[in-house]
A and B are shown apart, each in its own frame.
Chain A
Amino acid sequence: MDWVNTILQGVLLGGLYALFAAGLSLIFGVMRLVNVAHGDLIVLAAYLALVVTGTLGLDPLAALAVVVPLMALLGYLLQRLLLNRTLGDDLLPPLLVTFGLSVIIQNALLEIFSADSRRLQAGPLEVASLTLPGGLAVGVLPLLQFFLAVLVIAGLQLLFYRTPLGRAFRATSDDPAVARLMGLDNRHVFALAMALSLAVVAVAGVLLAVRSNFDPAIGPARLIFGFEAVIIGGLGSLWGTLVGGVLLGVAQSVGAKLDPGWQILAGHLLFLLVLAIRPEGLFPKVRG
């Protein structure tokens, strides 16, 4: 039963990792851009939620209503003003510019908020739990987070395959030149994709802030978790990303159960194992 519990906790943690990964995979799918600042943007969203809950006295989940649009706006502007200039045949500029952004965000957060670790308080929700048949107790908050993650991924899936905007995303992804001939403005489409990605990042950031302590330096590790979930799941598949996140979460919690020092390492080793045996991921759709 102990092991069932471990795996269950891992699955719930995996939902959060899938959220980290969804934003990453979305913009890679649309514009072949790997956003190295992704993890730091998650942390930025967490700090934004901290400020919002602190000044407006909102509940963390209600703060989503403020943080999500703000981050989406930031994403649109970031893409329009900065990242669109870096796109092209050469992959170095987008990589280095987002890497620069990552260092800038980290150090700016460090200057403003110091290196102290923070946490968002979610009140009684934090300790509420459900008892499952078999005597397993599951926290309401992790459960809520997992379902929120599944909801976001299902929403993205719907958006991609059932709406005009999704069609625009897919068309631009398939062939930017032809998409422009059909009257799509690539710069705008890319900016919308980044806005959507940062909206997902905002949700992930708030959930992270409620779940665990955070400080300005934890961004890169979140980027790596998201990246690992994307690669394990297979590039370009949103449901694959969810599976990848869940597998990563399970690997980490099983590793932590064996030895607390092995938690993160077990996740990395799973990733390297997948890379060695099945480099295209478990459910590949596009080749990177």
Chain B
Amino acid sequence: MSAERPFRIARASTSSRIGLGLVGLLFLLLAAAPWWAGRQDLRLLAEIYAYIALASLWNLLAGYAGLVSVGQQAFVGLGGYALFALALFGGVGPLWTIPLAGLIGALVAVPVALLVFRLRGAYFAIGTWVVAEVFRLLASQISSLGGGSGTSLPAAVVTSIAATRHAREQLIYWVALGLLVLVLGAVVLLLRSRHGLALAAVRDDEVAAGSCGVEVGRAKLLVYVLAAGGAAMLGALIFLQKLRISPDAAFSVNDWTAVVIFIAVIGGLGRVEGPIIGTLVYFLLRETLAPYGSLYLLVLGVVAIAVMLFARQGIWGAIADRTGWHLFPLERRVILPARSSSAGIGRPAADPHRAHSFALAGLIGGAALVMAGAQAAADRMADGKGPWAACRGPESCCGSPAQPDHAAMVQGRLRPDSDPAARGVLEPPPPQSPSSCGGHARACRSPNEPG
């Protein structure tokens, strides 16, 4: 980290600046939803937030840490049961049970991880599923919480949230939005940190990452515990909204894992934006196919298989690969001083298309806002698509037009040997200080990043 190094690392790009701006605007708009949306829409929006958050956590597990868990329902259900147990027996205020549930989920995840981490790959997946089944069967043994048939939150507890139904629903909605921001923020901050680099290295090649000094086991444990805590908080929120819990609903593999996996895969694994897009696709499918029973699950399965076979990078992956857009400033790009910009790196300053792309971004963002505003008056069906329209802004927040250099500079695809000027500065420093670990891990990454 010497001051006179001949390059700097940029994280934000034009698209991520515009993207963050639009995400901020969208947040304000959604925070104001209780004033422009109906009861049903608020419920639907809160459900969408919960799924985006769950899918983001699963994406962190599978897309970054290589932990393909089919057992996240264990922690969603644990969170739900923590809410009921704490509120009923502990007398804790229902909203306060949410952070407590997160804590419980994270604590329980540690011994669980010690067991399931003994299994590799697909066996790990089914092992986590067994753990979730054990939780479900144990929950159905708790007779004070209704055993196998479950129980409801008593009216006294419900009214302790807020006196009127309207106020209650508003409060729960804001908590849902807050949790989504918390989870997305935590994921982005984690990925921007040293641990994020270590995780990316682990994802690409566990052995190489280990040989570069990344503590693979610890990195995975960190992610597993975080994802469990997040899932437990979301579980508490989800069942606070439902007001009723049963073992089968709380530990449902279809609701809390199958759907979440499909969302993450369809949206794009290993991308923070993927789960957002995937969730919108899921709700669009679900709301349009609602009259046909469980057909949407079938269609979802087919779409997920098709994506896995033919477009492994998912929807956002396909968009990002073609355009270089990023909503969040996650990637690291090497910016060389003007001297070597002729070598083709760090050129973005001089680009005639830039002004156009700014104008286009403004236009599309504006259009998205107008459309989102128009949603306010729309009926429920239209509102099923509402969030889709509202989120068009960030999704299509075009920054600079496709710049091949940018694509090449996306961290991980930068090949040190492709440019003699770059090679000099990218040679990893000898491993002396912990602070060099990040750069180290990056340099060790294999160039063929899986899509």
Residues in chain A within 8 A of chain B (CB atoms):
33-34, 36, 82, 85-86, 90-97, 99-101, 103-104, 107-108, 110-111, 220-221, 223-224, 227-228, 231, 261, 264-265, 268-269, 271-272, 275-276, 279, 288
Contact = CB atoms under 8 A, between A and B. Distances in A.
A268 B121 contact: no
A99 B70 contact: yes
B68 A97 contact: no
B254 interface: yes
Contacts of B120: 288
Contact of A231 (B70, B123, B138): B123
Chain A, interface SS category:
helix
11 contacts: A34-B121, A86-B308, A86-B309, A95-B68, A96-B68, A110-B294, A224-B129, A227-B130, A231-B123, A264-B133, A272-B115
B297 interface: yes
A103 B254 contact: yes
A194 to B, nearest CB: 15
A110 B126 CA distance: 23
B265 to A, nearest CB: 6
B443 interface: no
Given A103-B301, A272-B115, A288 B123 contact: yes
B294 A111 contact: yes
A231 B127 CA distance: 10
A273 to B, nearest CB: 10
B308 A97 contact: yes
A34 B309 CA distance: 17
A275 B305 CA distance: 31
Give the residue among A85, A100, A227, A275 with the most B Cβ atoms within 10 A: A100
B286 interface: no
B141 interface: yes
Contacts of B125: 34, 36, 95
A259 to B, nearest CB: 9
The 4 closest A-B pairs by CB, nearest first: A34-B122, A279-B118, A104-B301, A100-B301
Interface in B332-365: none
Nearest to B148: A261
Nearest to B298: A107
A93 B309 contact: yes
Contacts of B62: 92
Contact of A96 (B133, B141, B300, B308): B308
A104 B302 contact: yes
Nearest to A266: B137
Contact of B130 (A33, A96, A108, A224): A224
A221 B253 CA distance: 11
A100 B294 contact: no
B137 A100 contact: no
B59 to A, nearest CB: 12
A103 B265 contact: no
A100 B305 contact: yes
A93 B314 CA distance: 12
Given A95-B125, A228-B130, A275-B115, A103 B298 contact: yes
A176 to B, nearest CB: 17
B374 interface: no
A30 to B, nearest CB: 14
Contacts of B297: 103, 107
Contacts of A86: 308-309
B371 interface: no
Contacts of B148: 261
B58 to A, nearest CB: 12
Contacts of B298: 103-104, 107-108, 111
A92 B203 CA distance: 12
B122 A268 contact: no
Given A36-B70, A92-B68, A107-B297, A224 B138 contact: no
A207 to B, nearest CB: 22
Contacts of B131: 272
Nearest to A280: B118
A91 B134 contact: no
A231 B297 CA distance: 30
Contacts of A228: 130
Nearest to B112: A272
Contacts of A95: 68, 121-122, 125
A268 B115 CA distance: 13
Given A103-B254, A110-B294, A265-B134, A85 B309 contact: yes
